[in-house]
Structure 1
Amino acid sequence: MSCKPNVLVLFYGYGSIVELAKEIAKGVEEENGEVRIRRVRETLPAEMQSRLPLDKVKEIPEATLDDMKWADGYIMGSPTRFGNMAGGLKTFLDQTILLWKDNVMYGKPVGFFTEASTIHGGHETTILTMSTYAYHFGMIIVPLGYKIPEISQTVSGGGPYGATHLGSKEELDENERTIAKFLGKRVTEVARKIKCCQA
């Protein structure tokens, strides 16, 4: 068994969440992990979908349960929806009950990312509500702490819970990019240690 970990970056959304996912994937690659970026299928009604920038993610494959089986570690993201993950991600995760029964993800590391328009608009609560999923699967939640100085910045997204984007700014700033890459590296590092111990 190779000790090179497979890391799945799984997300819902179309805005800066996509850019966060790509920066996280760069961090996985810099830590010598194999990465897949996957989006979940849109579940909103057709009349609402017509208002979404679907072109922004059309080149990114939709996630499957096989992607979940493939991964040694996961990094999951969603824009905040009233302090919680978006329904599209929740719908996909609900399907993983088929994997829960077989302990497919038990003991595997997971990190989280999100974006919210305001400082107090759900950065922390969205990550915390996504993390409840991981408890039920027996996954290892990988927080960031304050290991890198960018996490202490108060004018950007990102914090000890995970990578985030402060959506009042259209583009990710350099702190947010650095934090996103660090999340990718951190989950990959933990996934490698676990995988190598089991080899």
Structure 2
Amino acid sequence: MANILVLYYSRDGGTAAMARQIARGIESVAGAEAVLRTVPEVSAVCEKVADSIPDSGAPYATQQDLESCDGLALGSPTHFGNMAAALKYFWDGTTALWFTGALSGKPAGVFTSAGSMHGGQESTLLSMMLPLMHHGMLVMSMPCNEIALRETVSGGTPYGPSRCAESDNGLTEHEKRLCWVLGERLAKTAVAVKSLNA
């Protein structure tokens, strides 16, 4: 079974909704399962230890979750064109995995949610790709022949699914479809890579 980690940070629920759609896409592929994980808030005043279990939603991710995954979907809200501090903080602690090459050769994709049409979605997706590339992951894009990518008038980019939460009416059908496609594509690739390395 290929284990695909869907790792995200979500303050208002938009990115979490995308993560759940990506998980559905992953689990539509035979031989793949989705594992949803999040990261704790970070303090802007001083470093603090979060509770070991969140009040609700997905459990907090550990370095072991990353090490044992066969693929990764990484998601964050857009914060001025960049990933959220909580997610960046988590990645800043992955040096030990970098030294061992634990993520090298594993497929990965990124997704984001922003409050407006021009909220920095594409630069956020690119910022999330950087640590994945440093870890030697196989960064995947959205397929250019996906109709939802051409027809969407809200979220969606070649770099990964995005969401425009301006109206806050939930994910559009195109946004749902693009999340599903990323999950399915990651899962198929992870299953194939895992079988080659078996």
- TM superposition score normalised by structure 2: 0.90
Partner of 2:63: 65
Q: Deviations over 1:3-26 (max 9, x none)?
A: x31100000113210100000000
How many Å apart are 1:120 and its aligned residue? 1.7
How many Å apart are 1:44 and its aligned residue? 3.1
Which ranges in structure 1 are unaligned for 5 or more consecutive residues? 47-54
The answer to whether the aligner puts 1:98 opposite 2:96 as a matched pair is: yes
What amino acid maps onto 2:178 in structure 1? I
- Between the aligned partners of 2:167 and 2:99, the Cα distance in structure 1 is 42
Partner of 1:9: 6
- Between the aligned partners of 2:143 and 2:37, the Cα distance in structure 1 is 26
Q: Deviations over 1:53-81 (max 9, x none)?
A: xx8x7131010011111200000000011
Q: CA RMSD in A?
A: 1.5
Following TM superposition, the consecutive aligned residue runs of length 4 or more in structure 1 with deviations greater than 2 angstroms are none
How many Å apart are 1:154 and its aligned residue? 4.1
How many Å apart are 1:145 and its aligned residue? 2.9
- Between the aligned partners of 2:121 and 2:143, the Cα distance in structure 1 is 15
Partner of 2:158: 160
Partner of 1:49: none
How many Å apart are 1:192 and its aligned residue? 1.1
- TM superposition score normalised by structure 1: 0.90
Where 1:101 maps in the other structure, the secondary structure is: helix
Percent identity (aligned):
38
Report the number of matched residues.
187
What amino acid maps onto 1:117 in structure 2? G
Partner of 1:147: 145
Q: Deviations over 1:95-119 (max 9, x none)?
A: 1111111000011111000011222
